[in-house]
Amino acid sequence: MTNTPGTSTTRRQLLGGLAATGAAAGLATGLGTRFAQAQSSAPLKLGFQLHRTGIGAAYGRWYERTTKAALKAVNDAGGINGRPVEVVFEDDGTDAARGPQVLDKLINQEGCELVFGPLFSNVVVATAPRAAELKIPYLVCSETHSVAAGKLNRWTLQPGITDVKSQVRAVAPFIFDKLGKKVTMIYPDYAFGYDHRDFFTQAAKEAGAEIVKLLPIPVTETSFTRYFAQIPSSTEVIYHVMVGPGVLTFVKELGEFYGANHPKLFGFIDSLEAVNIATPSLSFLEGSHFWEGDCRYAQPDETEFDKAYRKAVGVNDEGAAINDPKEISTYAHMFSCWETLYVIKAGMEAADYKGPQDRQKFVEAVEAMSDMADSLQHPQGAKRFNGKTHQVFGHQNISQVKDGKLARIERTSIDAGLYPDETDYTKMSF
């Protein structure tokens, strides 16, 4: 297997461009001064479908910052094919109904070459058909399994973050071997939560474990204690993953309900993204475990690539904004925007992308990618892209709360998250 085509930016070039990010909202240029051969070339304009408002706003804020930082780094190193790059951000309100409208606007009004960036799976699933109708590359940062399951289309790819099925398969052995085999699952009552429900239930069956209770909770819920009362006393492990504006209330009320005498806890950090884990009311989490995509707290063995990325996106070693330590990042997920922009760069350079007439060539170039090395382009770690399923695979981190901080105790292999192909998009028509 070969390295990702087109990722030819040198470490020195990229480090030189990581000093700061753009501050403007809407159209972000991040333009540097390295376009001596491309001053007359029109910028490449990329569209970003942003959850600026709605239940995904905490993610959207950091997805925008991360993308602007990556944009500046790309432009400071010469852009794409010698052309400067612009990103147009358009808010979809984390609303599935608005998703296709946003894509339409970015393409037909703003003149963007492609669209990337959405996280919430309901928005992705609603928008992808429109991308196919318009024949627009649509690169999502979502974790949804709908891509790899073959439910979408050839224009939709997920090359910057692993999906829930891969994540669950990688961490399930730790849960069943180290924490317990009788599990109550708490998850959001929509597609993302159903992925967790289905794939963890399957993993439990394979491991001889038991799901003793399923507790789906609406993402707009504001009070959670009545759900906790339904947790069976036989529960050995509570598996929790929540999203939305009520995540802090969810975790606080879980602590209030159980106190110190709670079952073992394994959470996906979604339940605490953008939340300060050192909050006194969360002290009951001490000793519990979390999945993290990228580690919020700088680890003792943090790579030079993640250090440079952390600095570029304006995050300190505690996972908070450098300019405002009270503002906690969504560090476990936001790397996907950075890495996806670099996949776009690699794909466009491999396809010798000139304009809309090359959109199909771009998709085919991304489909041809395979191994992606741990690098400044991929600071979360090495990955393996499956061109048939349009899904990337990577390492997962299992962290434990120690002294009010998240300390990684295990990092899974890429192979631990692999599963048999469920589709082959390369055999589908464009």
Q: Where are the domains of the chain?
A: 11-162+302-394, 165-292
- In whole angstroms, give the CA distance from residue 388 to residue 170: 21
CB 167 within 8 A of CB 122: no
Determine the angle formed by the axes of helices 121-134 and 191-207, rounding to 10 degrees: 110
Count how many Cα atoms sit within 13 Å of the Cα of residue 157 in the half-sphere of its side chain.
Answer: 33
**Overall fold of domain 165-292:** Rossmann fold (3.40.50)
Record the tokens describing residue 279, joined without a space: 């909050």
For residue 69, the tally of other CB atoms under 10 A from its CB is 27
- In whole angstroms, give the CA distance from residue 172 to residue 199: 10
Position 3 scores a pLDDT of 36
Record the tokens describing residue 5, joined without a space: 């085509």
Bridge partners (DSSP) listed for residue 319: none
Give me the residues of the chain with pLDDT under 70, please.
Answer: 1-40
DSSP classification of residue 4: P
The three-class DSSP label of residue 187 is: strand
How would CATH label the architecture of 11-162+302-394?
A: 3-Layer(aba) Sandwich (3.40)
- In whole angstroms, give the CA distance from residue 17 to residue 8: 15
CA distances from 351 to 179, 211, 375 (A): 48, 47, 22
Q: What is the pLDDT of residues 319-337, one digit of tens each?
A: 999 999 999 999 999 999 9
Position 227 scores a pLDDT of 97
The three-class DSSP label of residue 268 is: strand
Residue 332, phi then psi, degrees to nearest 5:
-70, -20
The three-class DSSP label of residue 321 is: strand
Bridge partners (DSSP) listed for residue 406: 401
What totals of helices (H) and strands (E) does the chain contain, helices first? 11, 18
Q: What angle do CA 64, 267, 124 make, to 5 degrees?
A: 40
- In whole angstroms, give the CA distance from residue 146 to residue 141: 12
Record the tokens describing residue 305, joined without a space: 């690539």
The model's pTM is 0.90
DSSP letters of 274-305? TS-TT-GGGGGGTT-EEEESS-SSPPTT--HH
Record the tokens describing residue 180, joined without a space: 């317990």
